[in-house]
Chains A and B, each alone.
Chain A
Amino acid sequence: MSSNPAFTLSEVSKVYSNGTVALQNLNLSVGKGEFVSLLGPSGCGKSTVLRLVAGLGQMNRGNLAWGTSSRQKLAFVFQEAALMPWATVQENVRLPLKLTGMGKAVAEAAVAEAIALVDLRGFEKSYPRELSGGMKMRVSIARALVTHPDVLLMDEPFGALDEMTRSRLNSDLLNLWQQKKWTVVFVTHNIYEAVYLSNRVVVMASRPGRVVADVPIQAPYPRTEAFRMSPLFNDYCRDISERLSLAAQGVGEPPGEHPSRYNVVDSMA
């Protein structure tokens, strides 16, 4: 997967001004078109990784190398929808284009497309306060998609939603990912979500923030509800859960050195 990386973080350390070591000697390579989840307890620095990749904040040590010569177009989805409450859905989605100086008429088609992709047609003129939590999150995703990004960084985007909305948005996101071939880095503390969505689940531990396991999820896409119910899915969840609790006790293993315990299952559909 990493033969054609979108970006590589090497030996990255980040210390906050209050002395908290958010990350220590972190190595992470994300392949182009890969869907990678960063999973770990709160305070393990997974959001920090995302912010560093986005260029929001400086690392104290290490570096970030982009796979291609031209800088990739990034988009960020926050845990809160982070919409402008004074602007309609349409204006919120148009914001990134407006900031690049694109005229309203030119942006119109892209905005309409992004709104259609997240299934919000008919709500263009609504204000955020008129929408449910799940719909606000869709607007936030549409805003990220409108620039046709190469890399989508998502920071616990569905963390505040109820379980049903969350799984609906999860499968919608997977469908979009398969169409658009983005590289996705998805931060979550939900094991099931991570396993369901990802090519790879990167397990992190805290104090200091580091990678303790890198688990490839070898199940084919498209992933259906049947995958969620399969023994394979359960095995992955149990395995990752064990790694998380081991990490919490301070017994980690270096990334990439664990034996692969799973075979590729092609019968899944």
Chain B
Amino acid sequence: MSNSFSNPPTDAANRSLRPSTSPRWLQALLSPNVIAPLGVGIVVLVAWELGVALTQTPPYILPGPFLILITLVKEWGSLFPSLLITLQVTLVAFVAAVVSGLFVAIVFTQSKWIERSFFPYAVILQTTPIAAIAPLIILWVRQVVEGDQATFISLVICAWLVAFFPILSNTTLGLNSADHNLRNLFQLYHANRWQTLIYLRLPSAMPYFLGGLRISGGLALIGAVVAEFVAGTGGTRSGIAYQILIASFNLQIPKMFAALFMTTALGVMIFAVLTVLSDFLLRHWHESAIKREN
């Protein structure tokens, strides 16, 4: 810190060279943001391993982290393809939620009347418990579509139902949050509806939309997993939730933990990717993405 004060020219030079130097990359890895949670994780894992070993808890009650890791490696061949199926459901549902959420939000903000009339139903969509209606959705989809495809579509619909609302609600809020003076300015220059949307409202909504994206990414995964639990389908295209379910039936608790760990890791990865995307898109102007130097 003191270095950057006493030696500003060097600091400026470093900044302009930022992308190419590797020590900076290493520095980032050694920053408190990484070190601190990593330390907590290691302490918890060691305590867990020791606790399991000392109390001689059998693996079918609680396996130690080391055993879970071994199981993860051993069962990778059966777990990873399942994870990919779940990821596929999640991604399709997420993209559908983003597109539909953005579109509906834009329609809502075109007229107060549309928003007033339809927003309550969007809320109802959100508050209906997904686990309760998943069987219905599966039943209905099977009336229309045959076989494996039907399961996939039902799972996507369930995951979409959960992921849709945060994007709709955040984007609607964002579209309505354009600066008052800027709105007047657009009015003064006789901007039409379309120009106001493209040049003012959408950019203003961007931080909100991206916030919604981060929430929805995780929710889409949860929606996919929950729906899979309910669907309980086997067959060739079974997802990670099915693996968790079967492992617990067969008392393969280490395998269950391994599958659980993979699901969580996927969720964290989705969040991380969306956070990087958000920071990238907002890097020039939004407080959330700006590196403060004071």
Answer yes or no: A85 CB below 8 A from chain B CBs.
yes
B285 A86 Cβ-Cβ under 8 A: yes
From the candidates A54, A78, A96, A127, name the one contacting B284 in the complex (CB within 8 A).
Answer: A127
Given A78-B181, A80-B181, A129-B290: A86 touches B284 (CB 8 Å cut-off): yes
Given A55-B188, A99-B186: A85 touches B286 (CB 8 Å cut-off): yes
Question: Of all chain B residues, which has the CB nearest A97?
Answer: B189
Q: How far is the CA of A86 from the CA of B199 in the complex (A)?
A: 10
Task: Give chain B residues whose Cβ lies under 8 Å from the Cβ of A129.
Answer: 285, 290
Q: How far is the CA of A82 from the CA of B188 in the complex (A)?
A: 14
Answer yes or no: B69 CB below 8 A from chain A CBs.
no
B184 A99 Cβ-Cβ under 8 A: no
A75 to chain B, nearest CB (A): 8
Question: Of all chain B residues, which has the CB nearest A128?
Answer: B285
B188 A86 Cβ-Cβ under 8 A: no
From the candidates A74, A78, A86, A98, name the one contacting B203 in the complex (CB within 8 A).
Answer: A86
Q: Which of A108-139 contact B (CB under 8 A)?
A: 127-129
Question: Of all chain A residues, which has the CB nearest B182?
Answer: A82
Q: How far is the CA of A53 from the CA of B203 in the complex (A)?
A: 29
Q: How large is the interface on A (under 10, 10 to 19, 20 to 34, 35 or more residues)?
A: 20 to 34
Question: Of all chain B residues, which has the CB nearest A91?
Answer: B199
Given A84-B203, A85-B285, A129-B285: A99 touches B181 (CB 8 Å cut-off): no
A229 to chain B, nearest CB (A): 35
* Interface mask (A23-65 → B, CB under 8 Å = 1, otherwise 0): 0000000000000000000000000000100111000000000
Top 9 A-B residue pairs of the complex, sorted by shortest distance between their CB atoms: A82-B181, A85-B285, A99-B189, A78-B181, A99-B191, A86-B285, A86-B203, A127-B284, A96-B189
B residues near A, CB below 8 A? Answer: 179, 181-182, 184-191, 195, 199-200, 203, 206, 284-286, 290
